[in-house]
Amino acid sequence: MLASITGNTKILGVIADPVSQAKTPAMANTLLDERGGLGDFVMLPMQVSAEDFPAFITGLRALKNFGGAVVSMPHKIATANLVDELTSEARLVGAVNVIRRNGDGRLIGTMLDGEGFISGLVAAGNRVKGAHILLVGAGGAAAAIAFALAKYGCASLCIQNRTPDRASALSERVRHAYPHLEVTTAIQATSHYDIAINCTSLGMKPDDELPISKSLIGCCDLIADCVIAPEMTKLLQEAVNQGKAIQTGVPMLAAQMSLMLAFMGAE
């Protein structure tokens, strides 16, 4: 494998802070290897702080053998304001999770988190159409998933966030795009959800609090987590303890990996 990396190899990246937990490089390079593309492309982890991120993005325009990158926390929203062009999906969501560099150095951004999450849910035999859904989070991934849930016909969507104003702002944007969808930020005493989704970073650290309370977990049929590592978060373990169905964050990433590579030109 190492012999296939040459001076002609195009560099792909996964940009995050932290990045040590990322499964994307291993998954992407394995897929490239299976397809005979490893050597033409290779994906590397790139740890960049929020403070240094704008300068880093500027540098990518000058790196002629840079093909593209997966963008992860905490950079998804910032990226939308730093690239040269956005796809319609990224414009709607206001965030980016994949960029590619064109030959002229221009950076193009798209958002695939929503499609990836829905594909992962459906592949596991779950139904979005007609479902009542609780979404926790209001960042880039949460926005992408919120719009995708609306697009694929959920019956209602309740958005919660530690900062209520952000939940309200996202709710308003989804309601504007899908005026017939019931979108709220209020949980009623009688609320019941077919699916609850954690789109926050809570769960990445051992001492993180639960993003969804134990009592609220009891009001949900399926608990899904967008956290990739650890794969079995405290939230998911609590859901298992309560006898709930679960979905880890890995299916979302796996479902969009081919889409990501294709967008970066590494088909």
Active-site residues: which are they? 76
For residues 157 and 135, the answer to whether their CB atoms sit within 8 Å is yes
CA dist., res. 25 & res. 9, Å (int): 15
Identity of residue 96: V
For residues 99 and 71, the answer to whether their CB atoms sit within 8 Å is yes
- Quick one: how many helices (H) and strands (E) in the chain? 10, 12
Identity of residue 15: I
Residues ≥6 apart with Cβ < 8 Å to 89: 110, 111, 112, 114, 115, 144
For residues 116 and 253, the answer to whether their CB atoms sit within 8 Å is yes
Identity of residue 33: D
> Which residue, 64, 48, 141, 68, is CA-closest to 109?
68
The DSSP output letter for 3 is G
> End-to-end CA distance of the chain, in Å?
18
Strands of the sheet containing 193-198, edge to edge, are: 182-184, 156-160, 132-136, 193-198, 220-225, 245-247
For residues 69 and 98, the answer to whether their CB atoms sit within 8 Å is yes
